Structures are given as structure tokens and as C-alpha cells.
Amino acid sequence: MSFSRQRPLKYALIGFGAIGRRVVETLNGRPGRPAILEGILVRDLKRVASTELPAKVMVNIVDLLVARHPDIIVECAGQEAVSKYGPRILRAGIDLMVVSAGALTRRSTFEELMTAASDGGGRIVVPSGAIGGLDWLAAAKLAGLTDVVYRARKPARIWACSRAENAHLSDLREERMFYRGTVREAAAAYPKNVNVAAAVALATLGFDRTRVELIATPEEGDNCHEVEAVGDAGSMRIKIRGKPDPSNPNTSVITGHSVAQCLLKQSATIVL
């Protein structure tokens, strides 16, 4: 929850898929224009030529940084966009919101972004995305956490499409856990499906100590996210059933709303 200041936040998007559209729809529906979309960066103008776009579209990151100079740029185009554009954005002193948090599990990308942020003064902002409870987890980390596990349950069809060797999952008859590992290991194996796990790891024990379990279900349905944590402050178990976005079943409807809420917090007077 947030209550905005008078000055609207100026933001830009990298990519304009399901998440980007949801962000714009959500913010444009708020009274008083709390945030203004300054531009959209895409790789290929031809791919959006037939799309009605809510802001100026460009293919050059320099145009976005210099001509529009937003307060924050939201990456919602995949992990490669984080490594390709992130350092330049941060060195320009502009904040970068990383939706594809799995990109941060790559040591080289993480180090380059951290150096760029230190050099330019921009901040790396990671929204909670499809999960909840990160505030409790981050506080519990300060008290002392001993064990954290993240579980993702998705229809077998989604996992089967993510790796060729998972083709056998397409004919599942019962729920099956098919992967266990650390967040860093899971990110290398399933880069498009562990952004939530990466956010949990950042809030808790890090990429090499936070554990991941991936589960395939035979029926179509919601994307389920579960976190269990144990530490000196107590224990927590949270389970969320997120509705898949109709235009991209790999992401949840709530993800775009989470990004929008995170943007509102950047210029809020009261932040919860």
C-alpha cells in the first residue's frame, strides 16, 4: 500500500509483453496520474508495428536514457535484457527494476550490475512478483535464518516446454517433483521459471543456500508458489495460488500488479 506524492514518477519499460501491458493498465487506472510512462524500449519495431502503444517506442537505449531520462526503468523482457541494458542504466544514475530476477544468479551479471550501481548511483529494485511474505523473510534473515525452501507447482505442459528432456512430463497422471537443487542451479536449468525463487533467495539465504523444488501437476490450473522458512525468529509457511496470465501462462496475473505497486512505492510518502 502506498500514498503518492504530488510529483508523478517517470518510468520506462524494456519490453511490452504481458507484464508490461498489465503495468500500464494498472497505473493508468489510478486517479491522479501517479506515474507517467516516458517510453518503451523494444528490440524490433516491426514486432509492435500493429500494436497500439501507450508511449514513444525506441530501439536504442541511449535515446531512452538521454531523451526521456526516466526516474526508473522496468525490465520486463527477459534475463538477457538485464545483462544487456542494466549496467548502462545504472551508470546513468537511473534506477533499474529487475523483473527477471533469475538473471542476478549469474555471477558475472550480478557483479557487473553491482559495479555499475556503485559507479553511477542507480539502484537495483526487485519486485516481489508472484510471491508474498518477502518482508517477513527479510526481517527473519536479520534475526537468523537456518533453512529456506521454495516450491513451484505448475501444469506439466509448462515444464515440458521448458526443456527437451522434460517431454515425458506432458503425459503425467499424478503430481511429480522432478527437480531439486539450489536457486543458482535451478536458474541455470530453468531460466524462465525461477524468477520468484531468485527473489526469495535475495531476501533470505542467497542463491547457493536457498533450496528449490519444482513440481509438475497433470491438470491445467493455477501456478502455485510455496515458501517454507525456519530461523531464530520462528518459522513461516506461505502458499499462493496465482492465476496464470491469459496472454502468457508462464507468468501470473499478479506479477504485473506487483510491478505497478513497486513503482508506486518509489514515489510514495507512506510506504507499507
Active site residues: 225
User: H or E stretch including 145?
Assistant: strand 145-155
**Which three cell numbers mark 94?**
537511473
Eight-state DSSP code of residue 8: P
263 φ/ψ angles, rounded to the nearest 5 degrees: -65, -45
**Which three cell numbers mark 57?**
517506442
Which of 271, 266, 272, 269 shows the shortest CA–CA distance to 70? Answer: 266
Contact 83, 116 (CB under 8 A): no
Contacts of 188 (CB under 8 A, 6+ apart): 105
Eight-state DSSP code of residue 257: H
Q: Other CB atoms closer than 10 Å to residue 93's CB: what's the count?
A: 14
Contact 203, 138 (CB under 8 A): yes
DSSP per-residue letters across 2-58? EEE-SSPEEEEEE--SHHHHHHHHHHHTSTT--EEEEEEE-S-GGGGTTS--SS-EE
d(CA 245, CA 265): 23
